[in-house]
Structure formats: C-alpha cells, structure tokens
Amino acid sequence: MISQKDREIIRNLAGQYAELAVLESQKTVAKNWGRLNALDATAKPTIMLDQLPWHELDINGELTCQCQDAALREIELPLRQTLYKYRHFKGDMVLPPFLTYPKVFTDSGNGITIGERTDETGHEGAETHLFVDQFPDEAALDKLHNCTIQYDEMATRKQQQLYQDLIGDIIPLRPSGVMIWAGLWDWIVFCRGAEKVLWSFYDEPELMHKLMKKLVSVYMNMVDQYEAQNLLQAGPGTICHCMETYVDENKWYDIDQNHIKTSDCWISGAAQIFSEISPAMHDEFEIEYMKPLYDRFGWVNYGCCDPLDKKIDIVSKLNTVRTISASPWTDVARQAQAMGNRYTMARKPNPAYVATGYPDIDAIKKEIRETLAACTRSNTPVTFILKDITTVNRRPQCLTEWYELVKAEIENY
C-alpha cells in the first residue's frame, strides 16, 4: 500500500518535470539536435553532461530520496537527478513530454560471469581491478553460449499500472526498452584483464579471433530476441551514450513504437583497449567482426575514451556510423579533417579540468576553441559531451561553471 506522503512526493516531482517538458524551448533544442545528427554543420554545437559523480552532488538535499517505499525510490531518484541537471547544468538535454516505465524481461546469461577478481591486496578502493582470465584456452570458449531473453508481460503491466495510478493524470506515459551498448572488447577485458588481452593479440591471435567470432554471434542472437519481442528503444527521449538521438530524417520520424526494429535504433559501442593498437589490428579484430552487427542499426555512435583521429578510414567501413567520438587524447584538427561533413563529432572534453572542483578556465577555453576552429574549417557538426566525471571535489557548482564557460565559448565563437 502506497502512503499518501510517498504518493505526493512522486506526483510533485512529476508535476515539476511536466511543466518543463512542455516549454517551447524544449522543441527548439530537440529540433537543433535533429539538424546536428542529420549532419547539418550550421546547427548550433550542443552540450551534454553525463556520467556524473552523484555521490558528491547532493549538498542541499535536492537528490535525497524521501519516499519510504523502496520501489517508489526507483522512480523518485531518476526524477530528482533529471530535475537537478536541468536546474544546474541543463546543457542541451531534452525533456520529452512524457515519462517512461520499464519493459520487464529476464536474461538467462551467456555462461560467463565477469567481475571475478584476483587478490587485490594493496589496491583496496581502486577504480580499476585485476580480473581472473575466463578464457585461458580455446576449450574455455565452450562456456560461452546464447542467452535467453524473455519478455515478462505481466510484470510490465504491473509497472504500467503503478505509474498510471501515480502520475498518469499529470503526464503521458510510454514503455521504455533497451539501448544497445556494443562495447564487446570492454566485456572481453573484464573477462580476461587488460594486460592479458593486449599480450594475446601477439601471443595467441587465433584464440582472440575465435572468441570474437563466437561473441559476436551470441550478441547478434541476443539482439534478434530483443527485436522479436519489441524490447528495443528508439525515438524521442532516447539517449545513446550520453547524447540525444533526434534526427531530422524521414526514417526517424517513421518509427513504429509498437514494433521497433534495429533499423529504427541508434547503437553505441567502442573498443577502448585498442587505444594504443594500430589501425590495421583495430580493423582486423574489431571492425571486421562488428560491422555486420552495427550495419543492422539505423545510426551508430562509435567510440568512447579511445582516440580515433588516425582511424576514421576504418570506422567509416561501418555503413551507418553517424557520430564518432573525439576523446581528450584526440588530435582534434586531424580528426575533423578526416571526418569532414560525413559525420558528427562527439567531442569529449577533459574531465580532469573539473576534478579539483574549480574549472581550469584557460585549459577549458583552449580545448573548446581548438575544437570549434577545427570543426568550422572542416564543416564538421560537433557536440560537446563532458562525461566520465569521477570527482568534482564535492563542489557541484563546478559543473555549472564549466557549462557556462563552454556555452559562452560557443555563443561567442
């Protein structure tokens, strides 16, 4: 039984969201994203902040959940986080004029348990870990198998009813599905350890080829099941690796929400372990295997923290790639020149410039100006996405200050 107090808390937050979501400015921002993602270089560069150190940001109680019911806190916290971002560093986030409830499903797993760690004595509290190799030889590949995805219609209806009873009279509701992250090499690193993976490209390349071939097959089967059971996510309100997915193209507007196909969706992925590996090996072990998967999707957002300025030619083999990441370690001029107006640049400013809690003003301005200049010369659409923010030294206003700095640089360029 939901208490009246808990009900009022959720309804109040939903009401605040609903008031913001119908503002005309939301339509304007969404339209600009549509132009940007449709490769219109005259679209205003956008700003997003994501992957935040939430544990450091609640200094005034805005993020403190007040509901007593644990299930309602799972609704409450995302609403509080969304409203917090909008108030303090909204950037170009879009609040669609609806809220979502989750489609519920089960996943049997693929036979591999990642995250098993070796003795980490002396590494307590570290953000990185030492992993046990789950694939020490080819025989171990037999453990990897297809998963079984099973949509739970009854549980989904219960979620729908819960949301409808709470806030259905305040704001429209829609079911939400899965946005695919295809960072298969990240998963392999978690299964084997980074050092082991890097050595294996030289010491046991055949094992790596066989692992990748089988893993892609398992992943393709999983995507087939998502698609068959209408568990994918696409259209307004969908975020793909920290960026909005509005696209001013007919196929985006024609998405049938009652049966979302892979061709309706964005997909994101990366091979971050390849940061210091040659383009030829990146092509051999990643692009050639992943291309059939990526090409099933309508739009690809490729890359993360890995520098790709020397690899645009191999990334371009992905037929539907639309956005390519430019990490803090990228030669942004070289990457913009290689991309031209064929792709949108997802520029990832350096989060180290906010780590002390006080923005490194000169470094931030230099980074943004160099990017704007490079993209202007090459006619490359660009979005700035500050992410992977481990700390702001418990001074959340630092993020507001970073946003205002970048906003001013864009407006004054």
- Which of 319, 293, 139 has the alpha carbon at shortest distance from 217? 293
With a cut of 70, list the residues of the chain below it in pLDDT. 115-128
**What domain range is 95 assigned to?**
4-412
- What is the per-residue pLDDT for 125? 61
Closest by Cα among 341, 340, 339 to 315: 339
**What pLDDT does residue 1 have?**
84
Q: What is the Cα–Cα distance from 137 to 207, expressed in whole angstroms? A: 7
What is the pLDDT, as a whole number, of residue 114?
79
User: Phi/psi zone of residue 10: left (φ > 0), alpha (ψ -120 to 50 degrees), beta?
Assistant: alpha
Domain of residue 319, CATH code: 3.20.20.210
* Helix/strand/coil percentages in the chain, nearest 5: 50, 10, 40
DSSP classification of residue 14? H
The pLDDT of residue 128 is: 66
| pLDDT for the residue numbered 323 | 98
Instruction: State the total domains in the chain.
Output: 1
- Predicted pLDDT at 118: 60
- Take residue 154 and report the two structure tokens written for it: 């009854």
- Contact between 181 and 241 (Cβ < 8 Å): yes
For 213, counting Cβ atoms within 10 Å of its Cβ (0-12 exposed, 13-18 middle, 19+ buried), the class is exposed
At 109-141, the pLDDT tens digits run 999 987 666 655 666 665 667 788 999 999 999
Q: In this predicted model, what pLDDT tens digit does every residue of 322-345 receive, in sequence order?
A: 999 999 999 999 999 999 999 999
